[in-house]
């Protein structure tokens, strides 16, 4: 009987309405996609979140992307802004809010070690 009572209380608690945050209006949404790896978008919301990026064709057919996004700090004292580039040289982000120096995660160090072993053994990736 106690188990049934306990299960009933749990079911009632789970069925209670959940508090949902108020919807946030999008104040700007511009998108251009040329279908060839070049694009541009700008996005802004009424709560201060914004993002914009543009892409150009890369040397190997990829999109090279430059962009920035920002959002308000939880204490209301300002905004976090992150600028980034993603291209043939990898992904690079800049912001005073990012920790520096950026430590290399242990799993990445292990993957680099494995790649060096494979290269030494003559295992390579070719297109």
* Higher pLDDT, residue 3 or 31: 31
Q: pLDDT value at position 84?
A: 95
- In order, the DSSP letters of the chain are -HHHHHHHHHHHHHHSPPP-PPP--EEEEEEEE-SSS-EEEEEEETTS-EEEEEEEE-TTSPEEEEEEEEEE-TTSS-EEEEEEEEETTEEEEE-TTS-SS-PPPHHHHHHHHHHHHHHHTT-----
Q: Looking at 14-18, 19-23, 24-28, which range is the least confident one?
A: 14-18
Residue 55 counted as domain residue? yes
CB 90 within 8 A of CB 62: no
- Residue 67 inside a domain? The answer is yes
Mode of pairing for the β-strands spanning 50-57 and 90-94: unpaired
Residue 10: inside a domain: no
- Parent domain of 93: 24-98
Residue 113 domain flag: no
Is 103 inside a domain boundary? no
pLDDT in tens, 56-90: 998 887 889 999 999 999 998 999 999 999 998 88
pTM of structure: 0.62
Q: What is the mean pLDDT of residues 106-118?
A: 93
Report if residue 73 sits inside a domain.
yes
Distances (CA, A) of 121 to 110, 117, 118: 17, 6, 5
Question: Total domain count for the chain?
Answer: 1
Residue 13 placed within a domain: no
pLDDT for residue 9: 64
Tokens representing residue 6 in the block: 């306990």
Asked whether residue 56 is domain-assigned, the answer is yes
pLDDT of residue 101: 76
């Amino acid at each position: 009987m106690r188990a049934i009572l306990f299960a009933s209380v749990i079911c009632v608690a789970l069925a209670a309405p959940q508090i949902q945050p108020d919807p946030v209006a999008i104040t700007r949404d511009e998108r251009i996609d040329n279908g060839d790896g070049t694009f541009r978008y700008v996005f802004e919301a009424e709560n201060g979140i914004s993002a914009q990026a543009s892409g150009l064709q890369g040397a190997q057919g990829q999109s090279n992307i430059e962009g920035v996004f920002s959002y308000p700090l939880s204490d209301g004292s300002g905004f976090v802004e992150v600028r980034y580039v993603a291209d043939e040289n990898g992904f690079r982000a800049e912001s005073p809010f990012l920790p520096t120096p950026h430590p290399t995660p242990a799993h990445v160090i292990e993957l680099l070690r494995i790649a060096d072993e494979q290269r030494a053994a003559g295992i390579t990736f070719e297109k």
